[in-house]
Amino acid sequence: MSEFINKQININEHGFNPENLREALHKMLGERFRRVSYQVTQLHGGTVGDVKLIAGIAETEDGNPLPYKIVMKTNKFGRCSVDHGFMRWRREYDLYKSDLGSVFTDEFRWPVCYLAEMSRDETSWQLWLEYIDGVSGSDLTVSMYEQAAYELGRFQGRINADTPVFLREFKNLTSKDFLWLEYSQYMGGDRHKWIRSGDCTLPEHLRRMIINMDDSAEPWFEKIGRLPVVFCHQDFWNTNIFVTEAGVRLIDWDTTGWGWLGEDIAALIADDIEITHMDEYYRKCIPAYYRGVSEYMDVSEGENRVREMILLRFGYRFVGGCMNAETDDEKEMCKNALQIIYDWGESNGS
């Protein structure tokens, strides 16, 4: 095990040992270096990790200067330590130390890890990762969303058709109950009470949609439970997706585990997106996803439960946005999202 946390004398003000940077660059560039300069930029990071971009010039032993960019991600016990009974804080490290990298393709993969270090007392880790230069977040186009949905479907279909032994035996993954636990956290809370109170300002048909969701939750989950269980990212939204000329790259694997077919697409369509595009994402991403899945699995869109998944996972989030909005625009945006979900139900006859 590495002692990078315990060797405090070797840790610089940016939180890393420069020798670890040299070793990661050696694995990335295939050279040994006599001098390495660097500048550090704080990145937004994921749910539980601290992420920095390290960039500079690495001078080889024969004097050749090589520019580089590499990402350093650090996490410590205590940052979202436990999630549904699993050690979430170390999940991404555990996955990078596994054989998961071997199941990806050029079209869909995570960033390459050049060095993975765990502290001697196993309370912190550090990953040195490939820097992904691509389109992400609100800059993704509708066609890029569609591409990401298709490649995700191919990936999940391929893993489902031939699940590697190491994944079946992996102990530190979220369980297929993730969606239920996400939904059930709102039961009895302020949002659950508000939607049933005289203070609720939502139109009656939207209020009834949420109440009917609660009344229908048990049969909905029974239907969802008949879907195939697939290997899910469980945080599949636009800031974690990068589209490059070579394919789709997906970062932040700390919530990864098992879930139902379509769960990740529900997040892609509804999680912190521009509401004006929500309907278009729904109508284009779901068919693209099923095209990808169907290359490896015998499924049909008749098994599509994405609308129910969106309502179960995000319905009360949008209710909370209406209830706690600081501006009329924020309230209107969340109300519009609920209206779009309602319209999907009307068009489907549900």
Structure token digits, residue 140: 């993704």
Are 315 and 341 contacting, i.e. CB atoms less than 8 angstroms apart? yes
Spell 34-65 as b/e; 16+ CB within 10 A means b.
eebebebeeeebbebbbbbebbbebbeeeeee
5: pLDDT strictly greater than 60: no
Are 252 and 240 contacting, i.e. CB atoms less than 8 angstroms apart? yes
58: pLDDT strictly greater than 80: yes
Structure token digits, residue 191: 């949002």
pLDDT of residue 302: 62
Mean pLDDT of the chain: 92
pLDDT category of residue 347 using cuts at 50, 70 and 90: confident
Contacts with 144 (C-beta within 8 Å, 6 or more apart), sequence order? 135, 241, 243
Least confident range from 74-78, 104-108, 137-141, 263-267: namely 74-78
pLDDT of residue 2: 40
pLDDT of residue 273: 85
7: pLDDT strictly greater than 50: no
User: Which CATH code, of 3.30.200, 2.60.120, 2.60.40, 3.30.1070, is assigned to 8-130?
Assistant: 3.30.200
What is the average per-residue pLDDT within 110-122? 94
Report percent pLDDT > 90 for the chain: 84
Domain positions in the chain: 8-130, 135-348
pLDDT of residue 78: 74
Are 260 and 308 contacting, i.e. CB atoms less than 8 angstroms apart? no
Please indicate whether residue 180 or residue 10 has the higher confidence score (pLDDT).
180
8: pLDDT strictly greater than 80: no
pLDDT of residue 287: 95
**Torsion angle (degrees, nearest 10) of CA 73, 77, 81, 85:** 120
Q: What CATH topology corresponds to 135-348?
A: Aminoglycoside 3'-phosphotransferase; Chain: A, domain 2 (3.90.1200)
Are 57 and 66 contacting, i.e. CB atoms less than 8 angstroms apart? yes
What is the average per-residue pLDDT within 171-184? 93
89: pLDDT strictly greater than 90: no
Q: What pLDDT digit, counting tens, does each position of 180-199 carry?
A: 999 999 999 999 999 999 99
What is the average per-residue pLDDT within 17-30? 96
Q: What pLDDT digit, counting tens, does each position of 278-293 carry?
A: 999 999 999 999 999 9
The pTM (predicted TM-score) of the whole model is 0.92
pLDDT of residue 277: 94
Q: What pLDDT digit, counting tens, does each position of 314-341 carry?
A: 999 999 999 999 999 999 999 999 999 9
What is the average per-residue pLDDT within 262-289? 95
83: pLDDT strictly greater than 90: no
Residue 195 is classified by DSSP as T
pLDDT category of residue 11 using cuts at 50, 70 and 90: confident
